[in-house]
Amino acid sequence: MIRLWWRSLARSLRSGRTLFLLAVLGVALGVASVVAIQTLNQGALGAFDGSVRAVSGRADLTVLGLTPAFPETLLVPTLADPAVEAAWGLCRVDAAVDGVEGLLLDMVGVDLLAPVGLPLEATLGAADPGDAQAGILAAMVTPGWVAVTPELAANQGWAVGDAIEVSSGSRTAPLVIGALVDFRTLDPMAPPNLAVMDIAQVQGLLARPGLLHQIDIRLRPGTDTEAAAARLGVALGPGVTVVTPEQRQQDTRSLLAAFRLNLTALSLISVFVGVFLVLSSVQASLTIRRREFGILRCIGATPLQVRALILAEVGVLGLAGIMVGIPLGYAMALANLQTVSGTLTNIYVLDGISNLTLTPGVVLLGAAVGLCGALAGALWPAVEISRRDPLVLLAPVNLHEQVSRIAFRLSAVAALAAIAATAWFAWAGSRTNYGGFIYGGIMMLALPLVVPLVISLTAGSARPRGIGPALCLRNLAVRRQASTLAVSALAVTVSMLVGVTLLVAGFRSTLISWLDVTVRADIYVSSKSWARAGPEATLDSDLLAGLRSWPGVAAVEEQRRMHLYTADRRFRIWLNGIKVADIPGAELATRLPLKKGAPEAVAAGLEHGEILIGEPLAQKARLDIGDTLVLSGPSGPLRYRVAGIAYDYTSEGGTAFVTMPTLQKSFPGEPTSNAALFLEPGADQDDLLRDLRAAYSDRPLVLRSNADLRREVLAIFDQTFAVTGTLRTLALIIACLGVALNLLVQARERAGELGLLRSLGATRRQIFGLFVGEGLGVGILGLGLGLVGGIGLAALLIVFVNRQWFGWTIRPAWAGQDLAQQAVIILLAVVLAAVVPAWKAGQADPLTLTRDDL
Amino acid sequence: MKSALRMILLAMAACFVLGAAGGVWRDAAPGYRWSFPADLAAHPDYKTEWWYVTGHLDRPGGETLGFQVTFFRVGLLPPGKQTGRTAWDPRDLVMAHAALTDPDSGRHVFSEVIRRTTPFLGGFGSPGDSMLAWCAAPAGTPGKWTLVHADGVFRVRVRDNAQDLAFTLTCRPTRKPVFHGDGGFSPKTATGDVGSLYFSQTRMEVQGSVRIAGRGTPVTGSAWLDREIFSNTLGSDQKGWDWAALNLDSGEDLMLYRLRGKERHDDFALGTFVDSLGAAAPLPGNAWRLEPLRWWASPHTGARYPVAWKLTVPGRNLTFRLEAVLPDQENVSALTGIHYWEGAVTVAPWENPDRIIGRGFVELTGYGEGSRPPV
Amino acid sequence: MLDTALAFDNVTMRFGGPGNAGRLVLEDISFQLAPGDIVSLAGRSGTGKSTLLHLAAGITLPTAGSIRLAGRDLAQLDESRRTTLRRLHLGLVFQFFHLLPHLSVLENILLPGWIAGHKDAALNERAAALLGRVGLAGRVGDPVAQLSGGEMQRVAICRALVLSPALILADEPTGSLDEKTGRQVMDLLLELVRSEGCSLLYVTHSRELAGLADRRWRLHDGHLEPEVPE
């Protein structure tokens, strides 16, 4: 049997090279999309985990502020706990490097005397540069001493002893590269932009005296971590939380859950479409070789043996697909690194992904997906052909196989499934987390099942009046089984394309109209290190005073943005304290489009210390006007009555707004992080911007015009959705491969028919046209079905999934132009996919007419 | 990490990083004008100083205990170089060592703290402050270790729950301070150009309580305070020192130290003899001899320390046998990697070893591998 | 009207090798078929009867010699022109009918018209008329799968005639039919060919059916010989 299998494999490879290659490509692309997305997902988590492990790898517990920073004196009660063996404070700052656009150092200020265990090398100021530890003291006393990673130093051309200037908020500090510290030796995923300084220098130069951002704790061996965490939680008071490294990683995972789930769901569509490809290629190759199987059955092979023979062959196909798909997926992940990384920093305020690794887990997953996908695609045809009567297999192919009866049954099943799923979703599913995805998945599975019926109804009724479209449609209807596969694959893909396109278009247009209302100031001022909205990226009061008195500036609005937890620690939100500019039209209540609440009432509420919350927060925390939002404050819970709910698209996690006086009541002395300038009527924005830039050229400021800001917001938005573009393209390529495959198979199967047509005088061009027409028919049917599916999918995404996972109101926008453009692209792609098969068909020789044909 | 701080401290010593960087540490020099109580407090202009309290405590129904509490100040940046921007400014390190020797149980317990001075982790008082030195207790123990001087009395408080070590002692000096060397300038080399400012409270009455086997026990006894201030380090050819502080029942006190060279056994030695009325006189190196009688090999570090000596002071017609109350009184510092022997000894007439006529403390540094003290 | 429907002039055909190396199938064959000529062709299996028909239809080109179909030298035409020529001047009838199963009876007959780009009602009328003449007027819309073998071949004959070709080539048109049905179909074919006035070259193994032709040829060792009736 093994020998037979080898022979049979060799034969099928020889005879069906293109077929095999297409199927391999289908598997490969499906595997690639899964590998790419999972690698990126892992990279996103790895970036965070890597930095956690590199900095806090020796810590059993970490104290983190529920407010942006906490008093350093908390070190004392921390050290007093009986389970604590060592504890050290960290002061962490995002520092922009002067002259290097977009580079933020993740500055870790640590007590270098503490047993942190940093691999410092080549330390500046140490008498013996080879002696790593000798330099710690030098690190403490050399002004501006900073250790950077060898990777960053190599990228920037820095050497030990070089001077650089960095900024945190509007503060700048001259630093000197004191050592290279390779965090990779601590954790392979450590980001290259980590930098280490003595805590005194970070706190004194770039952050605020008296405040820490983190305390790392090493426990005595054998102590109960949970109990210690609980005890410390009580001892350290309400302003901080004590977590294990695992909990920190878990927090990031849940923070990114929605983002990752969406990408995963999109990548699964590629797999789904890839399975169709395998299905049709296996079906085709089996059809071609049915006689071979008939003979095998006649001489005594059992159905099981035949099935095993086929599945083993498909296994080879799957393996080949995996071999191609895994490297391809990794390459795709690399290609999308920038955009995904940008999303992480911009939207999720996390570390960008600095390096990707192909983990064994992902390789295994890719392999499993490839193999299972290939086998899943082959199972039905294999079972079907092995069950057949040997004599039937030996007889000429009967085109009227039992599809027509099955078509209606399948459609009935699909209808039942859709109705059942809808009912479930309406009653229960819409309230569960994954309900929307499950419902969408079922509907996507049901879509292919109605395809045979749709083909029967549309193509089957075509009345050919010549070698034209109607005959093409008739041909599709006749080969319903093959056509169904191609149309289904395309329909599912188009559904995804249309669904995501409508979602993105709706979201974008909603965002634009939201920006029109909210972004009203003329010039926006923030610092270079503000990119991740770190708590220390603040503006000096003298700077703000200077802006206020600048000629032409009518008013300055100030904002303090802080990352805070709700008291129940379920949500981490951005609390914005806003000192509203004292000019008409700048009032907070009218500036943020209200979803709920009257502007006058909201304005009054805010004046009285109430809070205006963003829609996502209201949705997730189930808050309404009059409810109380309880946040963790520095010394206990802060209670705010909800005055109104505003549309808000600035953050997935949740946003809330209070007046600056309200904020400062709970956080006295919190500095301003951003400012917005309203100009006097008649003041020239461009001139003023130029003058300000010139005047503050020595300060690490970012000055943006109103238009700049909007452009950047939209650029971030586009970047966020860019990765879906890759996935969409991938699915489209797979679907087009499906069309090509289908037609190639037809060119083979229908050699007899084509020979007849040729002998009756049909030219090659006519045959070519016929095939392209059939491809176009598949395209149009797939497009039509996909459009319907896609609109449904978009509705599901916008109304349920988005609401549930993100909590945004998205107003649907009919992206007519986008959709038309995509339709044209799809049809072109399908026609292109049909070209090679059509050309092959055109080569059909009248001589191929044999007794077996037709 | 164990070796990290040792390496730092060695770097301070050998490479003279800070001296080179700052160059403004004040050197100890003869002619220092002492002033009290100001000179009990820290001297930030000098790089290194310590408050060294050692003594013997009697308790009901048990052998006499030995105790040691030391606060070291190690300057990081001289005052002119400090930025004053944050609490973490690298001014000094505070290093504290505490030990208790119980001959009954054969236990010698050692505990230590090393921290950067900050308002909340440890520091030193200024002249006029009653708090001379303090630091937050070792991780795992609440509270502080403190050395306070008020109303003419020193109060020492130390606690380490993990080691089950705690004592609170009040030490009342019964004599005036004794200034060593030349009016309190104690040379460390034969040329006399390098040395330290050095005085002692040789006799203090002690009252307080000590935690023994989990229970607080009232104690009384005697103690010795050493105060030494300097900026230099050991000479490169010196590897450690032997030091002894003895109180005799006769009322006489003896302080002896000798620096051991790498080549010679006695690189430099000096002592002070205090008569029963409290009058001090220098005891030059050639005026006394301290000969090891018995050695003990540490199972912790492998170092070999003498634990019994023959002390002769021919000029005073004194010959004593010094005997450690317990061989294992080695302090092994996990935080710095340094180890040294700091132990209570009994003093007996040479001819009659069983008759104890005094008690004292002996310090042995630079024995074994990697034990050269950083200062 | 041309005076020859098909002319072979010293036609030689070799397979499977360049020059004289290949297997010789036909050697130095010359003949002419005048309009209205009805010729039968016999010969053992493998003697090149089908090859001769393929050459006549312009599907393959000879190794040597020239073939003229409807007055045009096939060797002078490219593949596409030969196809068009075939479409206009030739009708083909096969042993296995070769009807497209997914087309109806009428649609199968219309197929050559569709290929030629005719869409007028006249073509439909002609197809219907032909069906009437072969006795299948009532089966216009039926799927071909429901027809018997004889009926299928009658449909195939209609398809061959629908564009009024000058010449019909038939490769064992009764080969898949029983003797009685075969005779009926052959009679019908001859009747139609005669009434349409076109030429017919048909291959058959049956002496009886061969005898229905005006002339009888036999292929033997690559040579064409007139067959003497018994």
Instruction: Give the closest-approach CA distance of B11 to chain A in angstroms.
Output: 6
* Buried-exposed string A745-770: b where 16+ CB fall within 10 A, e elsewhere: bbbbbbbbbbbbbbbbbbbbebbbbb
Instruction: Give the closest-approach CA distance of A118 to chain B in angstroms.
Output: 10
Q: Which chain A residue's Cα is nearest to C83? A: A761
The number of beta carbons lying within 10 Å of the beta carbon of residue A681 is 5
Give me the residue from C57, C103, C116 closest to A759, CB to CB: C57
Write down the pLDDT at residue A714.
Answer: 87
Per-residue pLDDT tens over the stretch A260-296: 777 787 777 777 777 777 777 777 777 767 767 777 7
Per-residue pLDDT tens over the stretch B137-164: 999 999 999 999 999 999 999 999 999 9
Write down the pLDDT at residue B8.
Answer: 45
Q: Which chain C residue's Cα is nearest to A765? A: C80
Would you say residue A408 has pLDDT above 80? Answer: no
Which chain A residues are Cβ-neighbours of B114 within 8 angstroms? 113
Going by pLDDT thresholds of 50, 70 and 90, the confidence category of residue B12 is: very low
Q: Which chain A residue's Cα is nearest to C113? A: A466
Mean pLDDT of chain B: 88
Would you say residue B369 has pLDDT above 80? Answer: no
Would you say residue A666 has pLDDT above 80? Answer: yes
On whether any CB of chain A is under 8 Å from the CB of B7, the answer is yes
Which chain A residues are Cβ-neighbours of B1 within 8 angstroms? 115, 117
Residue C24 β-bridge partners: C14
Per-residue pLDDT tens over the stretch B297-333: 999 999 999 999 999 999 999 999 999 999 999 999 8
On whether any CB of chain A is under 8 Å from the CB of C104, the answer is no
Which chain A residues are Cβ-neighbours of C60 within 8 angstroms? 847
Going by pLDDT thresholds of 50, 70 and 90, the confidence category of residue B3 is: very low
Which chain A residues are Cβ-neighbours of B3 within 8 angstroms? 133
Average pLDDT of the segment spanning A672-700: 90
Would you say residue A300 has pLDDT above 80? Answer: no
Beta carbon pairs, A and B, within 8 Å: 110
Give me the residue from C59, C101, C113 closest to A846, CB to CB: C59
Mean pLDDT of chain A: 83
On whether any CB of chain A is under 8 Å from the CB of B80, the answer is no
Task: Kindly list the partner chains of chain C, i.e. chains with 3 or more CB atom pairs below 8 Å.
Answer: A
Q: Which chain C residue's Cα is nearest to A845? A: C59
Distances from the Cα of A121 to the Cα of A180, A183, A853, angstroms:
5, 11, 79
Cα A296 from Cα A394, distance rounded (Å)? 10
Q: Which chain C residue's Cα is nearest to A480? A: C102
The model's pTM is 0.77
Residue contact C80–A851, C-beta within 8 A: no
For domain B2-364, which CATH number applies: 2.40.370.10, 3.30.2010.10, 3.40.50.180, 2.40.280.10? 2.40.370.10
Pair of tokens at residue A371: 């193999």
Interface with chain A: mutation pick from B86, B135, B160, highest number of A CBs within 10 Å: B86
The number of beta carbons lying within 10 Å of the beta carbon of residue A445 is 15
Residue contact C114–A758, C-beta within 8 A: no
Compute, in degrees rounded to 10, the torsion defined by CA atoms A513, A517, A519, A520. Answer: 140
| DSSP states of A49-112 | HHHHHHHHTT-SEEEEESSS-EEGGGHHHHHHSTTEEEEEEEEEEEEEETTSTT-EEEEEEE-T
Task: Kindly list the partner chains of chain B, i.e. chains with 3 or more CB atom pairs below 8 Å.
Answer: A
Which chain A residues are Cβ-neighbours of C86 within 8 angstroms? 759, 761
Write down the pLDDT at residue A499.
Answer: 87
Higher confidence at residue C46 or residue C208? C208
Q: Which chain C residue's Cα is nearest to A466? A: C114
Give me the residue from B15, B86, B161 closest to A200, CB to CB: B86
Strand B92-102 and strand B107-116: pairing? antiparallel
Q: What percent of chain C has pLDDT over 70?
A: 96
Residue written as token pair 């068009």 = C84
Average pLDDT of the segment spanning B102-120: 93
Write down the pLDDT at residue A16.
Answer: 67
Give me the residue from A87, A111, A210 closest to B139, CB to CB: A87
Average pLDDT of the segment spanning C48-74: 88
Chains B and A touch (3+ CB pairs under 8 A): yes
Average pLDDT of the segment spanning A511-540: 84
Give me the residue from C98, C100, C114 closest to A466, CB to CB: C114
Would you say residue A134 has pLDDT above 70? Answer: no
- The residue ranges of every structural domain in chain B are 2-364
On whether any CB of chain A is under 8 Å from the CB of B136, the answer is yes
Write down the pLDDT at residue A225.
Answer: 92
Residue contact A86–B141, C-beta within 8 A: no
Interface with chain B: mutation pick from A79, A118, A176, highest number of B CBs within 10 Å: A79
Residues 450-479 on A with a CB inside 8 Å of C are: 464-468, 471, 474-475, 477-478
Tell me the three-class secondary structure of A449-467, residue by residue: HHHHHHHHHHCCCCCCCCC
Write down the pLDDT at residue A272.
Answer: 76
Residues 155-184 on C with a CB inside 8 Å of A are: 159
The number of beta carbons lying within 10 Å of the beta carbon of residue C70 is 18
Lowest mean pLDDT among A772-776, A778-782, B19-23, C89-93: B19-23
- Nearest CA to A411 out of A377, A455, A371, A379 is that of A455
CB A444 within 8 A of CB A437: no
Cα A569 from Cα B17, distance rounded (Å)? 48
Pair of tokens at residue A665: 């009541």
Average pLDDT of the segment spanning A423-429: 83
Residue contact B12–A137, C-beta within 8 A: yes
Which chain B residues are Cβ-neighbours of A220 within 8 angstroms? 140, 162
Write down the pLDDT at residue B281.
Answer: 93
Residue contact A474–C103, C-beta within 8 A: yes
Cis peptide before B37 (omega within 30 of 0): yes
On whether any CB of chain A is under 8 Å from the CB of C137, the answer is no
Q: Which residues, at least 6 apart from A615, have a Cβ–Cβ distance to it below 8 Å?
A: A595, A645, A646, A647, A648, A807, A808, A809
Write down the pLDDT at residue C61.
Answer: 87
Pair of tokens at residue A759: 């002998």
Per-residue pLDDT tens over the stretch A561-583: 888 888 888 888 889 998 887 77
Amino acid at A527: S
On whether any CB of chain A is under 8 Å from the CB of B350, the answer is no
Residues 364-403 on A with a CB inside 8 Å of C are: 399-400
On whether any CB of chain C is under 8 Å from the CB of A854, the answer is yes
- Nearest CA to A705 out of A692, A715, A694 is that of A692
Going by pLDDT thresholds of 50, 70 and 90, the confidence category of residue A348 is: low
Interface with chain A: mutation pick from C111, C118, C153, highest number of A CBs within 10 Å: C111
Q: Please give the angle made by the CA atoms of B206, B208 and B212, to the nearest 5 degrees.
A: 115
Residues 15-54 on B with a CB inside 8 Å of A are: 15, 17-18, 21
Chains C and A touch (3+ CB pairs under 8 A): yes
Give me the residue from A73, A85, A209 closest to B120, CB to CB: A73
Compute, in degrees rounded to 10, the torsion defined by CA atoms C191, C192, C198, C199. Answer: -50
Write down the pLDDT at residue B279.
Answer: 92
Task: Kindly list the partner chains of chain A, i.e. chains with 3 or more CB atom pairs below 8 Å.
Answer: B, C
Lowest mean pLDDT among A502-506, B368-372, C154-158: B368-372
CB A281 within 8 A of CB A27: no
Q: What percent of chain A has pLDDT over 90?
A: 20
